[in-house]
Chain A
């Protein structure tokens, strides 16, 4: 069942089209990564979906209706678009009380969402004193007040430390496992590849790709990073085998075009010691270059 549907969506600021004839659908009970480099039009699209920005043309619907026409069902949609959208002088609990009042939600939910997001002990703290990670959690707590079955999150991992990103992945995966529909935007593929089911990739406001995340990941040519004291010799050998090699440090090579087994076999045959071989995380920007180049689209 389609929960979120965007069709022919266009947003122009002056003569510039930030979102340009964008169409996609998000099914129920899945985590969908909404991917694109900075400036791709992700935030504008999400804001149009949530009735904050007026589309120039086209439609963005949740359960077949514009957000502002959802009525009581609106409580069942949670969103986090601003990481710093708090009054600094208001306490964590005070902030959530205001949001409960505005949505007509019972205050008893506050304790539950604070516990859910690991913020239970911070209820009395002023929002202005929270760390970036704690603010992200407070944003999520606010989005969960209505016990929503649709969650829309804009770059929720921005600025989080590695522990925070790890927590967020587990948290979002758990929400999805509970049957909620999650649409989460990001500009880093590696950040969402581990918990998202589907991916929608946009660039320049246009759809580039929509489908399972696994397909997107495989579409990104994986690079290997090898550390060896004989980098120059290994590079010559790899290039002669058709690989593309880039020296990232005096003793490190980034290799694309050959698999790890081929690289290891070649190094062994030439008695070149290899101290370390890792797969470089596929950056979304790399995927874009490949995808748009393959489809002849401008980047």
Chain B
């Protein structure tokens, strides 16, 4: 297992995947954060309340919502890329215990996702607090709440990246896997949460976005009204359980499928 872990971390370090995905995540976060901050309280643009209010600052701090989806895609690309680039053959020659490879890949992707989450959280926090300070607003949220949203972004990104590895192993076709994950996050969860708000908070992307501060009816992505955020530890437990379930399904299928 140590060798597999070492190899998977090295794979991420010797390519630009994490840097590239982090760049996209930070750019998206900054774009949303700045647009929200500039138009906050004006009733136009992104239509979040003033940064002087707790709701406005919270919505602005939650701008890494889409970055979380990028973290999931980091995991997807790291797993399905093995098949797109035909490196899976050498990977499974070097470590024929495929479950170990997937576990190591999930851990490495989670670390990459955490780095992405740190960068996105830093960008979001910097933008939100910077704009609020530049307008002379007092801090509308306790520092602990702000820290919790930032840590929610980091933990959420790490767990979604690990889940992405499972998705990318189940769907080996990389473009297909990316489309499936994006559709899941932006369409399926939205429809399910809008239809069954009580179930919405147990969906992985929604749960992670709410850990990062996203609320129903506000922020980006828009979470349907009626979806109540899980308590922070419960949200982590739900996400972790989903990661384990996807990983188990991926391990089962990967162990049985041919590497051709």
Q: Which residues of A are interface residues toward B (Cβ below 8 A)?
A: 44, 47, 50-54, 67-68, 74, 79, 81-82, 84-91, 94-95, 97-99, 101-104, 142
| Given known contacts A98-B7, A102-B3, A102-B7, A86 and B85 CB-to-CB distance under 8 angstroms | yes
User: Would you call A94 and B86 a contact (CB within 8 A)?
Assistant: no
Count how many chain B residues have C-beta atoms less than 8 Å from C-beta atoms of the other chain: 26
Residues in B neighbouring A101, C-beta threshold 8 A: 3, 6-7, 10
Residues in A neighbouring B96, C-beta threshold 8 A: 51, 67-68, 74
Out of B81, B94, B258, name the residue touching A102 (CB < 8 Å). B94
| Given known contacts A68-B96, A84-B86, A85-B87, A47 and B14 CB-to-CB distance under 8 angstroms | no
Taking CB atoms and an 8 Å cut-off, the chain B residues in 75-127 that contact chain A are 81, 85-87, 89-97
Q: Which residues of B are interface residues toward A (Cβ below 8 A)?
A: 3-4, 6-7, 10-11, 14-16, 81, 85-87, 89-97, 256, 258-260
**Chain B residue at minimum C-beta to C-beta distance from A53:** B258
| Given known contacts A87-B15, A90-B14, A53 and B90 CB-to-CB distance under 8 angstroms | no
Out of A53, A54, A87, A104, name the residue touching B85 (CB < 8 Å). A87
User: Would you call B94 and A99 a contact (CB within 8 A)?
Assistant: yes
Q: Separation in Å of the A84 CB from the closest CB of chain B? A: 6
**Chain B residue at minimum C-beta to C-beta distance from A68:** B96
Of A82, A85, A102, A142, chain B has the most CB atoms within 10 Å of the CB of A102
User: Would you call B256 and A82 a contact (CB within 8 A)?
Assistant: no
> In the assembly, what is the distance between CA of A95 and CA of B11, in Å?
8
Q: Separation in Å of the B86 CB from the closest CB of chain A? A: 4
User: Would you call A52 and B259 a contact (CB within 8 A)?
Assistant: yes
Residues in A neighbouring B256, C-beta threshold 8 A: 54
Out of A89, A97, A102, name the residue touching B91 (CB < 8 Å). A102
Residues in B neighbouring A90, C-beta threshold 8 A: 11, 14-15
User: Would you call B4 and A54 a contact (CB within 8 A)?
Assistant: no
Between A and B, how many residue pairs show CB distances below 8 Å? 79
Q: Separation in Å of the B154 CB from the closest CB of chain A? A: 26
Residues in A neighbouring B11, C-beta threshold 8 A: 87, 90, 98
Q: Separation in Å of the B76 CB from the closest CB of chain A? A: 16
User: Would you call A52 and B93 a contact (CB within 8 A)?
Assistant: yes
Residues in A neighbouring B258, C-beta threshold 8 A: 47, 52-54
User: Would you call B14 and A97 a contact (CB within 8 A)?
Assistant: yes
Residues in B neighbouring A142, C-beta threshold 8 A: 90
User: Would you call A51 and B3 a contact (CB within 8 A)?
Assistant: no
**Chain A residue at minimum C-beta to C-beta distance from B14:** A94
User: Would you call B14 and A98 a contact (CB within 8 A)?
Assistant: yes
| Given known contacts A85-B86, A101-B3, A47 and B260 CB-to-CB distance under 8 angstroms | yes
Q: Separation in Å of the B143 CB from the closest CB of chain A? A: 40
Q: Separation in Å of the A134 CB from the closest CB of chain B? A: 16
| Given known contacts A47-B258, A52-B92, A102-B4, A82 and B10 CB-to-CB distance under 8 angstroms | no
Out of A47, A51, A82, A88, name the residue touching B90 (CB < 8 Å). A82
User: Would you call B86 and A82 a contact (CB within 8 A)?
Assistant: yes
> In the assembly, what is the distance between CA of A85 and CA of B85, in Å?
6
Residues in B neighbouring A87, C-beta threshold 8 A: 11, 14-15, 81, 85, 87
User: Would you call A103 and B3 a contact (CB within 8 A)?
Assistant: yes
